[in-house]
Structure 1
Amino acid sequence: MKVRIEWHYSKSKSTEIAFHSEEIEASQAVGIAEDLIKTGRTKNVVFIDQFDNQWTVKEMKGYLKGIETEPHNLIVYFDGGFDRPTGSAGLGCVIFYDQNGKSYRLRKNEAIEGLKSNNEAEYAALYMAVQELAYLNVHHLPVRIIGDSRVVINHLTEEWPAIERDLSDWADKIEAKMESLGLYPDYYLVNRNANKEADRLATQALQGTDISATIEVVK
C-alpha cells in the first residue's frame, strides 16, 4: 500500500509549518515518520492512503505487522487471446506479491471455450486472476491491476460505459468478486509490450501448454 505522510514542523511556539510527501510504500513511510519524530520538532504525523483514510503511526505499524504473514503489495497482470476460427480462448495472468518478508511471482494460464470475442477473453483472464487472489486468501487490501485491454480497463474505471451485455456481465462478476474479497482495485492501462508475460501465458494456453507455478523473486 502506498501512502502520503503529512506532518507539522514546529521550530517555536509561533512557527509551525505543514508538510506532506509524495506517495511512497507504507513500510518506507513508517521509517521516515519515525525519523521525523526523533527530531523533536515534528508534530501531528499521519499517513493518508489512496482512499483518503487517515492513519496514525501506531495504526500503520499495527496494520503492517498484521499483513506480514499474508500476501500483500499485490500487482496483477492479465491478458486474454481469442482464436476466432476455433472459438477457443487463452487466458493468462501474473501476480506479484510479498509474504513473510519474501517476494513471489505466480503465473497461471487456462484455455476455455464458449466465448465470443477477444474482449470477452480479456475479461475472463482478469476474472481468473481475481480467483487466484481468492485462492491465495487475499482480502481487504489494495491491488494494482495492469492490462493492455483498453475496453476492460476503461469499462472498470467507468471511463467508458459497458453497453454490450456479454461484457457488462463480466464486469459485474469481477466487481462482485472484488467486493466479496474486500479488495480495492487500482487499474492501469499499459501497451502490449509492457504486458508481455501475461500475453505469452495466454498464447501458450491456446497452444495447449498449461502453466501454474509460483516462484520466489529475488529483488
Structure 2
Amino acid sequence: MLITIEWTYKSKNGIETIFRSDEMPPAHALAIAEDLEKTGRTSKMTFIDQHDSTWMAKELKKYLKELETEPHHVQVYFDGGFDLQTKDSGLGIAIYYEQNGKSYRLRRNAPAIGLVSNNESEYAALHLAIVELDLLGVHHQTVCFLGDSQVVINQMSGEWPAYEKELASWADRIDEKLNNLGITPEYELIPRKLNAEADRLATQALQGIDINGNIELQ
C-alpha cells in the first residue's frame, strides 16, 4: 500500500493552502507527517491510500502493527493448463509470503471444467490465487503477480485491451476482488522456465493429482 498525505498549511500572516504529497510507504508517510506537525503550521492532515480511502494517523499506525503478524511481502506465481482434447483445465498457484519474521510457501492446484481456451485457464488460475490471498488474510498492500501468459499479464496491467467477452469478464471479476481486498497489483511477465512450479501444479491438476499445502521455508 502507498499513501498520499494531504494537509492544510497556514502561513505566519494567516494565509491557508492545501498541500498534497507524492505517494510513499505508510511508515514514511507517518514519519513525514510527524515532522510537518512539529512546524505548528499544519492542520486537517489526512492519509489517502491508492483506493482513495482515507486513514487517520492512529489507524495507519494500527495497520502497520497488525501487518507484522499478517502475511506481507507477497509474491504470487500462477499458471493455467488447457487440454484441447478433453477441454479440461488445470490451475496452479504458488504464493510466497512473510509472517511473524518467517517465510512461507503456499501451493495449490485445482481442476476446472467449462473453460474454452488456455487464456481463460490462465485467468482462472489468477482468480484462484486471489481467492487464496483472501483466505490468507492478505489485504491493503501491494502484491506482485508473476505469470508467463503474455495475454493475461498485458491485459491486467492495461497494456492490451480485452476484446474477448470471456476474458473481459474474468478481468472485471479479478479487479473487483482486488479492489475489495484493498490489494494493489503489480503484474510481471516471466519466462516459462521461471514459472515451472505453477506450471507443474497445473499439469498435476489435469492428471487428477491434488496439491494443497502451506509450509515454512528454511
Shorter-chain TM band = 0.7 to 0.9
Who is 1:167 aligned against?
167
Give per-residue Cα distances to partners, 1:90-139, cap 9 Å, x unaligned: 00000011111111000000001100000000000000000000111111
- What percent identity do the matched residue pairs reach? 56
CA shift, 1:61, in A, is: 7.3
Who is 1:156 aligned against?
156
Give per-residue Cα distances to partners, 1:6-52, cap 9 Å, x unaligned: xxxxxxxxxxxxxxxxx9x999x9xxx9xxxxxxxxxxxxxxxx96x
| Higher fraction of strand | 1
2:137 is paired with a residue of what secondary structure? coil
CA shift, 1:62, in A, is: 6.1
1:180 & 1:62 partners in 2: Cα distance? Answer: 20
- Cα pair distance change 1:101/1:80, threshold 3 Å: same
2:61 & 2:189 partners in 1: Cα distance? Answer: 32
2:177 & 2:197 partners in 1: Cα distance? Answer: 24
Who is 1:127 aligned against?
127
Does 1:138 pair with 2:138? yes
- Cα pair distance change 1:26/1:101, threshold 3 Å: farther
Runs of 4+ in 1 over 2 A off after TM superposition: 58-66
**Code of the aligned partner of 1:82:** F
Who is 2:113 aligned against?
113
1:206 & 1:179 partners in 2: Cα distance? Answer: 31
- Cα pair distance change 1:135/1:189, threshold 3 Å: same
Who is 2:206 aligned against?
206
List gaps (5 residues or longer) in structure 2. 4-23, 32-48, 51-57
1:203 & 1:160 partners in 2: Cα distance? Answer: 27
For these two proteins, the number of residue pairs brought into alignment is 178
- Cα pair distance change 1:26/1:189, threshold 3 Å: farther
Alignment of 1:61-76 (within 5 A): 63-76=63-76
1:210 & 1:26 partners in 2: Cα distance? Answer: 39
1:157 & 1:101 partners in 2: Cα distance? Answer: 31
Two-structure CA RMSD over aligned residues (Å): 2.8
- Cα pair distance change 1:102/1:26, threshold 3 Å: farther
Does 1:90 pair with 2:84? no
1:79 & 1:172 partners in 2: Cα distance? Answer: 19
Who is 1:179 aligned against?
179
Structure 2-normalised TM-score? Answer: 0.73
2:60 & 2:210 partners in 1: Cα distance? Answer: 40
Structure 1-normalised TM-score? Answer: 0.73
Alignment of 1:39-58 (within 5 A): none
1:215 & 1:66 partners in 2: Cα distance? Answer: 22
